[in-house]
Structure 1
Amino acid sequence: MDYLVIKENDLFLLSEPNGDITGNHSYGLGLYSKDTRFLSKLELTINGEKPILLSSDGSDNRISKVLLTNPHMEKNGELILWRESIQLERERFISEDTLYETIRLKNYFPKPVSFSIEVSFDADFSDMFIVRGFQTGKVGERTGQEFNENAFKIMYEGSDKIKRATRVSWDRQPGGIQEHGLITYVFDLEHGQEDSFTIMVEPLAGDEDKTNAVQPQKALQKLTSSYEEWKNASASISTDLLPLQKLVDRGMADLRVLMTDIGHGMFPVAGLPWFGVPFGRDSLIAALQMLAFNPEVAKGTLKTMASTQGTKVDPWRDEQPGKIMHEMRFGELANTDQIPFTPYYGTIDATPLYLILLTEYVKWTGDLKVAEELMDSVEKALKWIDEYGDRDGDLFVEYHQESSKGIANQGWKDSGDSIVHRNGDYAETPIALAEVQGYVYQAKTGIAEILEALGQPEKASDLRHQAQELKQKFEEEFWMEDKQFYAIALDQNKEQVGTVTSNPGHVLFSGMLEQNRADAVAEMLTSEKMFSGFGIRTMGEGEAGYNPMSYHDGSVWPHDNSMTLIGMSKLKQQSHAKTVMSGLIKAADHFEYERLPELFCGYPASIGKAVKYPVACSPQAWAAGTPLVFIQSILGLFPDSLNKKIDLSPNLLDEMNELLVSNISIGNGILSLSLRRSGETTECEIIENTTGFEVITAGIASPVKNK
């Protein structure tokens, strides 16, 4: 990556690899909170010159570290500072809504040296949409600044009448403070001597006016403790397949840094740097991926989505009653209605995904209390599906953009060229997507189970009947006999958009497909046309719209693969699932920090490497969640807390021989188990089972051992 990023709750920092925030970077560097850039400049110099970058490490999501040294400095033939004499280390983290940066200096020159360190800073308070170049509009203005020996404060009043400010303070008094935002320290260091200072940057909004940031050591201790709590509350794995171990560890670390709480519990924001906000489908899918590791995240995600559920018909926001939001923004452009994101509802899939997450959460936890608490929201979501989602009463849920500043394609493939006919023409809305019909089927059958458990059998029966009608209609309208595959969509004329894509793979998880057609879907998705060797492509090679460099028309998205994987695992299509998982594990070796990116190009693996997509978010929630789905799929683990049983069909990847999974929360208990290859068989040992549920196994040659 050509940037460093750290985040904690709502505050994140995006900087150059050398730690600076400059104005000439494509990503719009800065310190951001609530879609506002509170720091637009942060530059470090030594004797007025930019230091030389030695190393830059963003692998630890809590702390980023940068190692620098000085260039050679002479003036009129007189030595000022010999090259590489001073080691400069920048270490920063975010805690207590404050950025902390410590600069440490060490003298490696054999004699005493004197030098100055300058830190310059500024704040432009730009809205995120302006920084990204997506929007212009009426904005506020700087209203002044204050400074003394302890701090420097820059003030701003937005067009939304919210007063914002940035306070920069320090733990030792600088030698000089200048009104344009520059502090200077002078150091006299003996050979081998070290020294340091820390600056603190606090974003302030409204009437907020902190007096001082928390002491750095206490703030770091609190941050470290929260990471320990996260680790202890989550399931863990140990495997002899090191690349998989690294992927899972990285995925859990990335998901932790993406956690945010806006008042309803922890949930994952979509990704950094641009989507550190509540995001309907992304947050819901990431929480779904995490169920085997930390189901509490699903609860926070569900309650957050319910809190912003649509209440009225508002074309500006593509809002209707009962609809689950797409994306929520907090900057002044959103607050002044210059963009429709408070929140924006232009998504066709978030509403059924919300219902799916609830049903899966209940299956994992048995927590009917949350289901009862959200039942009013559930009924509104079901009503939205039938009344607003199905615009013409043909049983299919379809989308159409109403907002002038909204999104045209409102499925997960939301770029303008993503729904394309086989002749190259773009489909016109209203559009009914294949995977959305699967989501609706799964939502209705899942909610039916919950309603039965809550003593409402008639409502449950109605939902099952509706789901069955949808299943029959889907087979009639979406199946392409000549391709032995499903169309990606129906267009405004109810004609098939017949391009071969990954979308039907999501339907495998729904339970809507007959076995022979589910097998045909799996065969196509792992064929040379669709499978690159590193993952399932979004569009098949040879299709009119295919482009391996595109965003949605031939690229590989890990989360897209994960949605297919969980279905393959549920249907016991284990050889296909293993092919996909092995490909993605190999792909990860070509990216930084043992991390699957948001997406990568769809070139075949025969070229020798997975090709980076130029502007992928990293870290990104549903990419981080994908390795967690690998573990669930390897285990074939599908609990059913309502019926007090756990289905297990383990199948180790060919590259691995051992897997230990500990502390899986199911019902009110814990399941821990190990898999070990023994010759041609897999032995499964239940190490701990405090759930009280029956474990039903399939697909292993040897019986399950209970320790």
Structure 2
Amino acid sequence: MKHRVIKENDLFFLTDESGDIPPGSTDGSGLYTQDTRFLSRLELSINGVKPILLESSAETNCQAVFRLTNPHMEEEGQVKLWRETVEIMRHRFIQDGVLYESISYTNYGPKTVGFETSITVDADFADMFTVRGIKAGMIGSVTGKSVDADRIAIRYAGADGIARETRIAWNIPADRVSPDGTVTFAVELKPREVRTIELTVTPVIADKAPQAKPREEALRLLDASYRRWEQGSTSVDSDLEIFNKLYHRGMRDLRMLLTDLGHGPFPVAGLPWYAVPFGRDSLIAALQMLPANPEVALGTLRTMAVYQGSKVDPWRDETPGKIMHEIRYGELANTNQIPFTPYYGSVDSTPLFVVLAIEYYRWTGDLGAIRELMPALERALEWIDQSGDLDGDGFVEYHSVSSGGIANQGWKDSGDSIVHASGDFAETPIALAEVQGYVYLAKTGMAEIFRKLGRNAEAEALERAAADMKRRFEQSFWMADESFYAIALDREKRQVQSVTSNPGHLLMTGLPDENRAELVARRLTAEDMFSGYGIRTMSGKSTGYNPMSYHNGSVWPHDNSLCLIGMSRMGFIEQALKVTRGLMRAAEHFEYARLPELFCGYEDTLGRPVPYPVACSPQAWAAGTPLIFLQVFLGLDPDVPDGIIRLRPALPEGMNRLSVRQLRVGSGTLSLTVTRREGNAVPEVEVEHNSTGCELRVLHAIHQDVQN
């Protein structure tokens, strides 16, 4: 079933295509904040019957519109309401913690009509983990429901001692309000007459209630917020329409997914299940967003630093210096029935925290922010060398000690994702290939920053450790018979010999030997790994391959994007353009040209990508993937601390012009146009504005198939 979802800051609303939440819905529909469902039923009827859906859209992300009409209605042989006489328009948005909805009825019949319309509401205050079917436990109860002519209030006493309440109000007195939460209005309309009912739904937590504004003012403030986002972010235009759609969709989705807990904006992971701070996902999405809006990276780093691990807590898989995996705010977390307050069970969040800080510095030159974050960065480096290296072999491993924790703690965190060629699952502690790459980049990048700060001895120590790690990694992870890196080492230090996408992340880290890096890039785009729509998570030749699986053969756009960063940086342009083409072809088949969290890994000979049934959409790091396309097409590699921006432009097939405005680099912006003229395989670059404070160097592409 298709959904309609809108979100603003920490409140989001998911319904069916008609705008309803049917009773007993099991698909996650509802109005949520703080991991609690504050509206579990919302049904609109006309004369007691569900209207007919004509069309609906939540394309703008911050607003949803539904156009409906009445079915034919007769009673004892008499026409009660002729079919398609009344148009019903629902318009909703969220602003400053309040849901606003207007329902407008227009009579398109030739005579006056009368009917009743009802809105039925309810709230179950279910914890998100309960809605997802993951965890049941000790919970509170609904303690009362107040019913008046212009409002309903439903109250809940949580097992965590927190009082919660849902307040639903409307702008005109109802004719009837029943105890079950059905609000009924008698409507009479002359031909072409319009009548509008306006609703607000306000979640209240611990007696803290956001104040509803006049509808027009709230909508104006919301629109102004989106305009500021667009005006302050990098914009693109090209003669390849699918890229334009993808980029604009990604930017709007990322704006919708931003939340601010008081330390700056950061992207939550995705809707509906992961509208919370998520270490790995938030860090990667912020990394993708650097060329468009680097302030998000700084907000993400500051937020993660606030929640950095400070003690040893086995229940939460916490150790000092570790960056969180996920934080939850609902009843089950607050009563310690789940360890997500926050939970620290990811092995890659900590090195990715350091990597994002390094990349933020490369893009902005903001040494002041690095100085501010330095205590957290130093603690993260200590974690890498101490708690992260479980057996002292120089590699970072994971092993969950929490009874409520996650077994596999890399980005492929499903239980079957790390599988030997024999079909057996690898046993922990497990050292993942890509995590070693993140660690290598963290150490080499921080060494450069330490040198900038005059801390030469510490820089040299990090460089020596990185060089030693590089040597040992090549010895331990390279599979000579596959000419590829193993996904991991298991508890016995045996290679987990599956060919997967994970080693593709190594290309952006500098860890692989250059000749082996080229073999990796070529294998990622070979037939067994590349579906035609993107790089699969696992080779079709590997034992565990399943195109319908979550992590063993599906296609994840963000996974592809991290491979693309490395392909572009290392000059594997032919492979990079092949991957971008495949993902753009896939996007043409998804609603709003929106790349989902993942899709199945079937061959493109089917003529369309096969959706994964419970993929989050929008998902932050999928939305950020088109921003990486921009980096690939420009060959963009900034080094602001050294005062250089490198470009190695390579346009994909079907694109002969790419205009970029307000590219955020250094202390200013860069605006330019890349053009490929007939008969000239090398694109030309025209710089229209450069206030970055950096020298722009345009280089020729290497490893490029000029026929691409």
TM-score, with length taken from structure 2 = 0.98
Alignment of 1:133-172 (within 5 A): 133-172=133-172
1:674 and 1:26 map into 2 onto residues whose CA distance is 49
Quote the offset at 1:109 in angstroms: 1.4
1:695 aligns with 2:696: yes
The one-letter code matched in structure 2 to 1:31 is L
Quote the offset at 1:9 in angstroms: 0.3
The one-letter code matched in structure 2 to 1:605 is D
Quote the offset at 1:26 in angstroms: 3.5
1:644 and 1:382 map into 2 onto residues whose CA distance is 27
1:208 aligns with 2:208: yes
SS at match of 1:389: coil
Q: After superposition, what is the alpha-carbon deviation per residue over 1:483-541, rounded to whole angstroms, capped at 9, x for unaligned?
A: 11000000000000011000000000001122111101001101111011110000001
Quote the offset at 1:685 in angstroms: 1.1
Quote the offset at 1:369 in angstroms: 0.8
**How many residue pairs are counted as aligned between the two chains?**
700
The one-letter code matched in structure 2 to 1:687 is E
SS at match of 1:353: helix
2:178 and 2:482 map into 1 onto residues whose CA distance is 70
- Conservation of the 8 A alpha-carbon contact between 2:28 and 2:131: yes
1:611 and 1:644 map into 2 onto residues whose CA distance is 45
Q: 1:169 to 1:253 in 2, by over 3 A?
A: same
Quote the offset at 1:423 in angstroms: 1.3
Quote the offset at 1:148 in angstroms: 2.6
2:293 and 2:246 map into 1 onto residues whose CA distance is 17
Quote the offset at 1:182 in angstroms: 1.6
Name 1:66's counterpart in structure 2. Answer: 66
1:400 aligns with 2:390: no
The one-letter code matched in structure 1 to 2:179 is E
Quote the offset at 1:209 in angstroms: 3.8
Name 2:537's counterpart in structure 1. Answer: 538
1:481 and 1:695 map into 2 onto residues whose CA distance is 41
Name 1:239's counterpart in structure 2. Answer: 238
Q: After superposition, what is the alpha-carbon deviation per residue over 1:189-247, rounded to whole angstroms, capped at 9, x for unaligned?
A: 1111111111000000013145x511111111100000000001100000000001100
1:244 and 1:281 map into 2 onto residues whose CA distance is 26
Alignment of 1:158-237 (within 5 A): 158-209=158-209, 213-237=212-236
Q: Which runs of 4+ in 1 moved over 4 A?
A: none
Name 1:255's counterpart in structure 2. Answer: 254
Name 2:108's counterpart in structure 1. Answer: 108
Q: After superposition, what is the alpha-carbon deviation per residue over 1:338-385, rounded to whole angstroms, capped at 9, x for unaligned?
A: 000000000000000000000000111111111111111111100100
SS at match of 1:388: coil
Q: After superposition, what is the alpha-carbon deviation per residue over 1:119-138, rounded to whole angstroms, capped at 9, x for unaligned?
A: 11011111111111111100
Quote the offset at 1:700 in angstroms: 5.9
The one-letter code matched in structure 2 to 1:182 is T
1:209 and 1:686 map into 2 onto residues whose CA distance is 50
Name 2:706's counterpart in structure 1. Answer: none
The one-letter code matched in structure 1 to 2:696 is V
The one-letter code matched in structure 2 to 1:109 is G
1:385 aligns with 2:377: no
2:592 and 2:700 map into 1 onto residues whose CA distance is 34
Name 1:6's counterpart in structure 2. Answer: 6
Name 1:704's counterpart in structure 2. Answer: none
Alignment of 1:596-607 (within 5 A): 596-607=595-606
SS at match of 2:387: helix
2:693 and 2:406 map into 1 onto residues whose CA distance is 47
Q: After superposition, what is the alpha-carbon deviation per residue over 1:271-302, rounded to whole angstroms, capped at 9, x for unaligned?
A: 00000000000000000000010000000000
Quote the offset at 1:607 in angstroms: 2.0
Name 2:39's counterpart in structure 1. Answer: 39
The one-letter code matched in structure 2 to 1:89 is M
Quote the offset at 1:158 in angstroms: 0.3
Alignment of 1:302-701 (within 5 A): 302-678=301-677, 679-680=679-680, 681-699=682-700
1:700 and 1:590 map into 2 onto residues whose CA distance is 31
Quote the offset at 1:170 in angstroms: 1.1
- Conservation of the 8 A alpha-carbon contact between 2:202 and 2:209: no
1:24 and 1:204 map into 2 onto residues whose CA distance is 23
- Conservation of the 8 A alpha-carbon contact between 2:26 and 2:131: no
- Conservation of the 8 A alpha-carbon contact between 2:203 and 2:209: no
- Conservation of the 8 A alpha-carbon contact between 2:28 and 2:272: no
1:485 and 1:542 map into 2 onto residues whose CA distance is 13
- Conservation of the 8 A alpha-carbon contact between 1:140 and 1:159: yes
The one-letter code matched in structure 2 to 1:90 is R
Name 1:705's counterpart in structure 2. Answer: none
1:418 and 1:245 map into 2 onto residues whose CA distance is 34
- Conservation of the 8 A alpha-carbon contact between 1:169 and 1:200: yes
The one-letter code matched in structure 2 to 1:692 is G
Name 2:705's counterpart in structure 1. Answer: none
2:457 and 2:342 map into 1 onto residues whose CA distance is 35
The one-letter code matched in structure 2 to 1:114 is G
Q: After superposition, what is the alpha-carbon deviation per residue over 1:67-87, rounded to whole angstroms, capped at 9, x for unaligned?
A: 111111111112211111111
1:296 and 1:166 map into 2 onto residues whose CA distance is 34
1:358 and 1:495 map into 2 onto residues whose CA distance is 33
Q: After superposition, what is the alpha-carbon deviation per residue over 1:665-693, rounded to whole angstroms, capped at 9, x for unaligned?
A: 11111111110001223111111111221
Q: After superposition, what is the alpha-carbon deviation per residue over 1:31-83, rounded to whole angstroms, capped at 9, x for unaligned?
A: 00000000011110101111111112121211111111111111111221111
SS at match of 2:469: helix
The one-letter code matched in structure 2 to 1:291 is L
Q: Which runs of 5+ in 1 are unaligned?
A: 702-707
- Conservation of the 8 A alpha-carbon contact between 1:23 and 1:29: no
SS at match of 1:120: strand
Alignment of 1:67-82 (within 5 A): 67-82=67-82
Quote the offset at 1:696 in angstroms: 1.9
- Conservation of the 8 A alpha-carbon contact between 1:682 and 1:700: no
SS at match of 2:386: helix
2:40 and 2:464 map into 1 onto residues whose CA distance is 56
Quote the offset at 1:24 in angstroms: 4.1
1:700 and 1:517 map into 2 onto residues whose CA distance is 20
2:559 and 2:156 map into 1 onto residues whose CA distance is 42
- Conservation of the 8 A alpha-carbon contact between 2:323 and 2:353: yes
The one-letter code matched in structure 2 to 1:653 is P
1:505 and 1:143 map into 2 onto residues whose CA distance is 53
- Conservation of the 8 A alpha-carbon contact between 1:156 and 1:164: yes
- Same amino acid, percent of matched pairs: 56
2:464 and 2:525 map into 1 onto residues whose CA distance is 33
SS at match of 1:652: coil
2:12 and 2:669 map into 1 onto residues whose CA distance is 34
Quote the offset at 1:108 in angstroms: 1.2
Name 1:22's counterpart in structure 2. Answer: 22
SS at match of 1:642: helix
Q: After superposition, what is the alpha-carbon deviation per residue over 1:75-114, rounded to whole angstroms, capped at 9, x for unaligned?
A: 1112211111111111111012000110000011111011
SS at match of 1:13: strand
Quote the offset at 1:23 in angstroms: 3.0
Name 1:56's counterpart in structure 2. Answer: 56
Q: Which runs of 5+ in 2 are unaligned?
A: 703-708
- Conservation of the 8 A alpha-carbon contact between 2:573 and 2:701: no
SS at match of 1:291: coil
1:651 and 1:667 map into 2 onto residues whose CA distance is 23
Quote the offset at 1:185 in angstroms: 1.1
- Conservation of the 8 A alpha-carbon contact between 1:683 and 1:700: no
SS at match of 1:494: coil
